[in-house]
Chain A
Amino acid sequence: MTKLDSKIPEGPLERKWTDHKDHIRIVAPSNKRRIDVIVVGTGLAGGAAAASLAEMGYNVKAFCFQDSARRAHSIAAQGGINAAKNYQNDGDSTFRLFYDTVKGGDYRSREANVYRLAEVSANIIDQCVAQGVPFARDYGGLLDNRSFGGVQVSRTFYARGQTGQQLLLGAYSALMRQVGKGTVKMYDRHEMLDVVKIDGKARGIIARNLITGEIERHGAHAVLLCTGGYGNVFFLSTNAMGSNVTAAWKAHKRGAYMANPCYTQIHPTCIPVSGTHQSKLTLMSESLRNDGRIWVPKKMEDAQAIREGKKKGNDIAEADRDYYLERRYPAFGNLVPRDVASRAAKERCDAGFGVNKTGEAVYLDFTSAIERYGRTQANIQHIENPSAEKIRELGTAVVSEKYGNLFDMYENIVGENPYTHAMKIYPAVHYTMGGLWVDYNLQTTVPGLFTLGEANFSDHGANRLGASALMQGLADGYFVIPYTVGDYLADDIRTGPIDTKRDEFAEAEKAVKDRIDHFLNNKGTKPVDDFHRRLGKVMWDKCGMARNAEGLKEAIIEIRKIREDFWKEVRVPGTANEFNQELEKAGRVADFLELGELMCMDALDRNESCGGHFREESQELEGPQKGEAKRDDDNYAYVAAWEWLGEAGKAQLHKEELTFDVVKLTQRSYK
């Protein structure tokens, strides 16, 4: 087994990044002009990296599959971005943000990486303010904060429920400024379909122009993948329709190890599936759990009647409701972390207490909050002996002010008024903590190939805390890669432009064209989505919120069968040289069909429960923690990095042992 070198700098935790920056090599301004860098993806990580590298003087080519760089899926993030500013004077510090993130990740991330993330977090806020990002402010004109799950301080900066949008538009404006100057050449509606390696180093990509279908060769001295997560392997997720694993998977096939692919975050509060036509799922912000109470009926016959449409939630008497999170976790109640809340919902629905026609939904009820706020308002307004209706009216107004946009969104999708009928929610796939393995410099196991943001594995361990994804994307793009990429590129100041006429480019281009030809000439009968749906069902049932060895082994066999059927039976209409959305989908699903198997292999290898990965075999069997996840630090405190061995289902496991010098490993308890 090769030893993975994480290149963590020596020295005390709080000095590592500063010392590292002071000692790595840099490229002189006059030499940066001779160096080309490719950035794939223009979300927070990619947009920030492309803008920063161009400002520094490199020649940047940026690629995105959307019609504009501004549409990357970072835009959909709602809640906020964490930063250890301690503006609220509540004792926050770099160390506390670091500690909360390592603990929240269930002790499966690298201390040095997480510390660096916490360290640069404050700079991100300053940077964004300078760019004109309109963060929420208080009446004194200063930046406002709010609290988020899993922490005891108020460190989340936000822009209403659209923080991701505002941060991305900030990065996009910085990127477009460089496009205007000609230092970034922007390729939108382009999809990367392979990495090209020369003498073992990443030296370019093959991309398809999605409008004309032309296959293009692009050379560069380094390639940065900022291509997001792979949650769409489940077919249904909160990801955008186009989010995919293709760039990362092609890199994996060219020698980049894939790390912890089984770590998936399943968000507890999403709008449930309504039918077979469903194309994606919509998240309802975690903030709703501050005021909403989650329940299902206590009696099976009530649950059945609700599913058959004979009863409504409002018909169930208070005494017949099971507020199961409050029952199981009295200390944290409805505010347990995402993974715990999701598993508890699944447990109740599997036991037959689900409350919609599919049996996969629980109530999120604001009745108590409306009543509580209503009474307070009545007191404030000096209304004596207010009627029940008056209290409801006053309370509804308060809830509307806090969550109005979310309630409107719910009503628009579901067609039911959530002020008078409890919301129905169910967990859904939301984020992937796993991704390409990178060292401290964000470099993969392929020299010259770097990975940033959700596409890498490095900072969130087995579970990501809320408001940390935006922080990581921007940290990687604005403040980490501009330094670390220089250390690598210092060897390339005399290399000269990369020649795209070389055999390596021709070989990669031919493979891409052959695959496209195969799809278009296949004599199949079924649309791509048929296979994607089948894959998603297997992944959700057997590699979703709870996993066991038997199910995972079955899943591997089933995925192989779907893959075999896919290549035989898929039909892709149209031609190669035009805008062809079915062809785009076919390529992406082909890669998901290989990734899905690796995720199951990884989940099978990890016979412990940690964060979002729950193995049914590994739970507490007795005592007060009975039924809760059981981590196994003696045997599994490692990063699982998988090497591609030439075909799907064959992969070599490499282990990077995780060492904890500062944080003490303990069990997470929410009882």
Chain B
Amino acid sequence: MKLNLKIWRQKGPKDTGAMKTYPVNDVSEDMSFLEMLDVLNDNLVRKNEEPIAFDHDCREGICGSCSLFINGEPHGPGRGITTCQLHMRKFKDGDTIHVEPWRSAAFPVIKDLAVDRSAFDRIQAAGGFISVNTNGNLVDGNALPIPKVDADTAFDAATCIGCGACVATCPNGSAMLFVSAKVSQLSLLPQGRPEAKERVLNMVEQMDKEGFGNCSNTGACEVECPKGISLEHIARMNREYMVAGVTKK
């Protein structure tokens, strides 16, 4: 099929950037979206033009590197998939497709479609862990039974891949779904309880410092999250945050 691509080009963080049009031919429906961009880039290099920069790595939906805003949706049409899992059979011959980077004040553009998501790492470093050293002198893994329902709910939260789609789709640019996924995972597990108060306070403080917006319960993040992480986790984080704020000594 033939497609008309409108792609965001931006030379660097300080460049203003603009949409540029690229017609592409011979797109096979078996291609992934990123493979279609590979073919376009291949042609650009042959024409001695600069290829389009975009982040990607595992190409099987788990590393969280890929990040495109396609026709107004993070990771494009389809639910429960990342951009690398999007295939061209979702499009029709003659379609015009708009491709943009994640848009958020906290995710500055590095070049073209690649953005800087290191704010997420800083939030993790502020409290997204359990303070246990790796010396191996620990109790047996089965010494602490964890009810299956808690373990499963913690797992649902832990599947977050840190891609940032929640921020990109949120009208407020909020990172609440991302932060709450980690807070929720660790607060559901008994191992995470001793530090639960400090964790939620520190992570939220860092989140605010990074310039992410507030949550106004639009729920777009849950819809676009490739791992289907539930808004319930935001509710759990809010509760943890309030309790921590009230009871902190």
Which residues of A are in contact with B by a Cβ distance under 8 Å?
48, 51-52, 55, 66-71, 73, 75-76, 85, 87, 120, 123, 125-132, 134-143, 159-160, 162, 164-166, 169, 172-174, 176-177, 179-180, 186, 188, 211, 240-242, 274-275, 277-280, 282-283, 409, 412-415, 478-479, 482, 525-527, 529, 571, 573-574, 578-579, 581-582
Contact = CB atoms under 8 A, between A and B. Distances in A.
Given A67-B118, A68-B117, A241-B57, A160 B144 contact: no
A574 B48 CA distance: 9
A216 B55 CA distance: 23
Contact of A129 (B63, B135, B191): B191
B75 interface: no
Contacts of B32: 279, 413
20 contacts: A55-B133, A71-B58, A76-B58, A76-B60, A125-B141, A130-B138, A130-B191, A143-B142, A176-B129, A177-B129, A240-B58, A277-B36, A277-B38, A478-B136, A479-B136, A527-B41, A573-B45, A573-B49, A579-B53, A581-B53
A407 B41 CA distance: 31
Contacts of B81: 412
B139 A126 contact: yes
B63 A76 contact: yes
Interface string B158-174: 11011000000000000
Contact of B51 (A52, A126, A140, A581): A581
A415 to B, nearest CB: 6
A174 B129 contact: yes
A486 B186 CA distance: 33
B118 A87 contact: no
Interface residues of B, number: 81
Contacts of A280: 59-60
Given A67-B117, A188-B121, A573-B51, A132 B192 contact: yes
Choose among B51, B124, B134 the residue with the greatest number of A CB atoms under 10 Å from its CB: B134
Interface of B: 11-12, 28-32, 34-36, 38-39, 41-42, 44-46, 48-51, 53, 55-65, 81, 85, 87, 89, 110-111, 114, 116-118, 120-121, 124-136, 138-142, 144-148, 151-152, 154-155, 158-159, 161-162, 185-186, 189, 191-192
Contacts of A130: 130, 132, 138-139, 191
Main secondary structure of the interface of B (DSSP, over half): loop
Given A162-B159, A581-B53, 15 more contacts: A70-B162, A71-B58, A125-B141, A127-B132, A130-B130, A131-B129, A139-B148, A162-B62, A173-B129, A275-B30, A279-B35, A529-B38, A571-B46, A573-B44, A579-B114
A162 B189 CA distance: 19
Contacts, number: 224
Given A141-B145, A142-B142, A241-B57, A279 B136 contact: no
Choose among A68, A139, A413, A582 the residue with the greatest number of B CB atoms under 10 Å from its CB: A68
B99 to A, nearest CB: 16
Contacts of A579: 12, 53, 110-111, 114
B157 to A, nearest CB: 8
B134 A173 contact: no
A165 B154 CA distance: 14
Contacts of B61: 409
Contacts of A409: 60-61, 85
Contacts of B87: 412-413, 415
A412 B60 CA distance: 11
A357 to B, nearest CB: 11
A182 to B, nearest CB: 10
A522 B35 CA distance: 26
Contact of A143 (B28, B34, B62, B141): B141
Given A67-B116, A68-B117, A578-B12, A277 B31 contact: yes
Nearest to A278: B35
B162 A68 contact: yes
Q: Report the 7 A-B pairs with minimum CB-CB distance, sorted nearest first.
A: A141-B145, A180-B125, A173-B129, A123-B136, A134-B155, A527-B45, A129-B141
Contact of B121 (A68, A132, A278, A578): A68
Given A177-B129, A188-B118, A578 B111 contact: yes
Given A76-B58, A138-B148, A280-B59, A48 B51 contact: no
Contacts of B50: 573-574
Contacts of B135: 55
A134 B151 contact: yes
B56 to A, nearest CB: 6
B156 to A, nearest CB: 9
B126 to A, nearest CB: 6
Contacts of A75: 58, 62-63
A128 B144 CA distance: 13
